[in-house]
Structure 1
Amino acid sequence: MPDQQKYIKKLAGDRVLVIGGSAGIGYGVAEACVEEGCFVIITGSSPRSSQAALTKLQSSYPSATARLSAFAADLADEDNLEGNISTLFESVSKLLTDGVLDHVVYTAGDALSVLPLSDVTLAKAKQAGMVRFFAPLLVAKHALPFLTRSAKGSLTLTTGGVASKPSANWTVVGSYATALLGLTRQLALDMRPVRVNAVAPGAVDTGLWKGLTAEQKEEMEKKTATGRVGVVEDVAQTYLGILKDRNTTGSVVETNSGYLLM
């Protein structure tokens, strides 16, 4: 008689869209979902980036090729933002037998607009929030008709440690990160019974990390309680936990190596 499997197969067969899944944390979440037995759809900012990530996933998981797909979605284009998001969900729904997704994970980001207050302009401030705030808001709007309408369905957003621990010259980005905390809780009511949560990572060793000098890396590690920054494989587990826990909604989960304590 085989052992029971109450926990490790909980996501098997679920349909997951990872917006921003072509790189960094999003790619790690996509990998984790593939290993959990999910049907995984990723997006990148361009056809080239999304296709490259899809090819990489297929190479890593050759037996799961039939469960993998990719689309491009430009989330930085203000004039076409809502249209691009609407088109994305329409395209994704056509892939699915019943047109329904179980989970949407939003990890998309762009270059951080870190600048002194004296350099802030309305145009810069608005553009800084296009991918990091306005896009997730519109993703929520357009995702709802396509999500499983029960506690199984979920939308998971991504904010950051700066929402809880301000840093100099991060006024614009930090304000959007903080706004995502409120957006998460509001959406948990407006989208119920679909669950809405957010993950707030600290520094994570992604492609951006590789561009830092040894001294910069050491300085960042000193600001953590564990003496190390996170790796994608660790942080992806936080997203998996949220997808699995149907009792969690309106919550923001921190994963930051104790950065907030230092």
Structure 2
Amino acid sequence: MKKFALITGASGGIGQAIALNLAEQGYSLYLHYNQNQVEMERLLKRLSLFNGEFIPIQADLSEKGNYKKVSDNIFSIDVIVHCSGASHYGLFTELEDETAEMMFNLHMMSPVLLTKMLLPKMLNKGKGSIIFISSIWGQTGAACEVIYSTVKGSQNAFVKALSKEVALSGIRVNAIAPGAVDTVMMSGFTNEERAEIENDIPMGRIGVPENIADAASFLISDKASYITGQVIAVNGGWYT
């Protein structure tokens, strides 16, 4: 029987790593993306080496109600990985209303309501795994990233609450909180700034997307069958 996983933000660095990992395990994939069609086409080409269905779905999840463009295209689901995201830097006092709304839609309203729409399909199967790719800043907070820290912290709270509600139904809900990972989000840092971050990390290096994908693979697997409601930090010891 085919296993289906949805990955939102699948065209990003972490999303692609998770997609390749799950495809290798035999999953068919719904691959959500927004603007990065070039990277999505690149990912689909890499996925063609595996047996499975790989279905791209375009939607801007920062816009109210657009999560329905994703849910309307999904007919069977075993795993949901919420990986869509965008960072925001700046003083909180200078935050625009439109930016705040966009960040909440992208990181909270869309994934929460998308989960609500898809959850009955998991309940009917009596099993499933839901994972949020959160952030270290959702655990500890960051100056000049107040709104980003807020929405990521909200994801963690949602995971803890929903996990208790659906545990007896065989559905597990967890989050992964990456630290600094070598993706597009790090592209705005200078070499000097990257070096400072590496010096702050006890393991002395910035992570790679595969580190997050490996953690997601474990949480999805039966090896994690007694793990739910957890926020797993994958950050090289940066925050414990």
Structure 2 length-normalised TM: 0.89
Q: 1:211 to 1:157 in 2, by over 3 A?
A: same
Residue 200 of structure 2 corresponds to which residue in structure 1?
Answer: 223
Matched, 1:31 2:10: no
Matched, 1:253 2:232: yes
One of 157, 161, 181 as aligned partner of 1:186: 161
Post-superposition CA distance 1:62-82 (Å, at most 9, x none): 33264222111210112xx2x
Q: CA deviation at 1:150?
A: 5.5
Is residue 33–residue 40 contact of structure 2 (8 Å, CA) maintained in 1?
A: no
Residue 117 of structure 2 corresponds to which residue in structure 1?
Answer: 142
Residue 67 of structure 1 corresponds to which residue in structure 2?
Answer: 53
Residue 22 of structure 1 corresponds to which residue in structure 2?
Answer: 11
* SS of alignment partner, residue 204 of structure 1: coil
RMSD across aligned positions (CA)? 2.1
Unaligned runs of at least 5 residues, structure 2 = none
Distance 2:225 2:3 in 1: 14
Residue 73 of structure 2 corresponds to which residue in structure 1?
Answer: 91
Distance 1:149 1:258 in 2: 39
Post-superposition CA distance 1:5-49 (Å, at most 9, x none): xxxxxxx94211101111121111001101111112211014xx3
Q: 1:190 to 1:122 in 2, by over 3 A?
A: farther
Is residue 101–residue 148 contact of structure 1 (8 Å, CA) maintained in 2?
A: no
Unaligned runs of at least 5 residues, structure 1 = 1-11, 94-99
Q: Which has the larger radius of gyration?
A: 1
Residue 84 of structure 2 corresponds to which residue in structure 1?
Answer: 108
Q: 1:215 to 1:137 in 2, by over 3 A?
A: same
Q: CA deviation at 1:234?
A: 1.4
- How much identity, in percent, do the aligned residues show? 23
Q: 1:143 to 1:85 in 2, by over 3 A?
A: same
Q: CA deviation at 1:148?
A: 5.4
Structure 1 length-normalised TM: 0.82
Post-superposition CA distance 1:64-107 (Å, at most 9, x none): 264222111210112xx2xx2223222121xxxxxx21101000
